A and B are shown apart, each in its own frame.
Chain A
């Protein structure tokens, strides 16, 4: 099989995945700020994009989680994954990200990436290639614990905020909370940039090393850092309005004191998790915080149907991305033609999803709209 073509396809789809990662995760930092009016939608996404780009350049260490741990190495210490399998894994992750974006579900891009790679590795190298114990400890359990911790912290924070400020009736309270919320949201966006762009850099670097185009044990090259940073920033700037609407208005109606409590809890949980040795998914932390602030405010309703759908999406993320990754691997590893079929097929699926999304577009103009009844006339002039 043509290795150069494989490498080019891996790089192209890794950047595409990074782009989807960007618009998927804009909501993490900015959904509550947009919902409370702390930031105008366009300002919020551009701020998040800039912070993500800065974040991508800040962190110089490669995210080794991709190459070590979940995918086992053989007895000689060689990776049991080839560039063609990485390509198949990326297809699984990217397609799942498009599907969840279409459905407006916040889901972890990292879990999609792990799922895609696991599926491809299972098919390419057999059951021994995947460390299932590691999957449970690194992915399944944290997915249950992340929203719990952030949710409890956000619930307590919300009670404190409302009690202290007499249900936010003291003068200037709402404005003050909007400012604090913007600051904490920016911190979340910056932290996101230092971690998520790293994962794609790791994938591209792993591929270049596997293809003998780069020395092992060297860091990502400058163009890789730049490309990944720009891809994630561009995705963020486009704005994942569909997911932002879910997180900001559909789980619960977030007000500025709650927005502050949610972002404070998210920032605290993410920073504690990444610096005290128990990494948690940003997406799951933020979703948990939003549910927590809904529970913390008197008379506020948490829409458990929406929360349940999000939870179901998390459960499905890994197996779904793995299934697509495995299918892609099955077609792609056989020949160059198979590789081409997978690439063209993936682009066709993305095209269809995009076309479907245009039938009921969510934009910066209608991102804060409440759930409309089916068949209700669209807002005029939005």
Chain B
């Protein structure tokens, strides 16, 4: 039998992960340009925080791919 439980988990995780990645990366791009335009250090800082979160997600992906890490 097909494991629908596993499938729905995979589907949900894939969609949520994509949403998180795109929201934070695109949000970072927007905040960076708005922040520079408005001279707002807070927004530029928030932009870098967004990028840092995306970098962490990539590192987590790398950790998943390389079996030696876990």
Contacts and interface: CB of A to CB of B under 8 A. Distances in A.
A261 B22 CA distance: 7
A268 B6 contact: no
A183 B51 CA distance: 13
Interface in B1-52: 1-3, 6-7, 9-11, 13-15, 17-19, 21-23, 25-30, 32-34, 36
A154 B13 contact: no
Contact of A268 (B1, B21, B36): B21
Contacts of B36: 171
B64 A271 contact: yes
Contacts of B66: 58, 194
A149 B11 contact: yes
A264 B61 CA distance: 11
Interface stretch (A160-168, A200-208, A219-227): A160-168
Given A58-B68, A165-B30, A276-B13, A268 B18 contact: yes
Contacts of A149: 10-11, 14-15
A265 B49 CA distance: 21
Interface residues on B, range: 35 or more
A178 to B, nearest CB: 12
Contacts, number: 130
Interface in A51-88: 55, 58-61
A160 B26 CA distance: 8
Contacts of A280: 10
Given A170-B29, A171-B33, A187 B58 contact: yes
Interface string A274-311: 01111010000000000000000000000000000000
Nearest to A194: B65
A137 B2 contact: yes
Interface residues of A, number: 51
A171 B25 CA distance: 14
B22 A58 contact: no
A305 B3 CA distance: 32
A171 B36 CA distance: 10
Contacts of A145: 7, 11
A180 to B, nearest CB: 6
Interface string A152-176: 1110111011001110001111001
Contacts of B14: 149-150, 153, 265, 268-269, 272-273
B62 interface: yes
A350 to B, nearest CB: 32
Given A170-B33, A271-B65, A277-B6, 5 more contacts: A59-B67, A141-B2, A153-B15, A170-B29, A265-B18
26 contacts: A55-B65, A58-B67, A59-B67, A137-B2, A149-B14, A152-B11, A153-B19, A157-B18, A161-B25, A164-B29, A165-B26, A180-B54, A184-B58, A191-B65, A194-B65, A194-B66, A194-B67, A264-B18, A265-B14, A265-B18, A268-B21, A271-B61, A272-B10, A276-B6, A276-B9, A278-B7
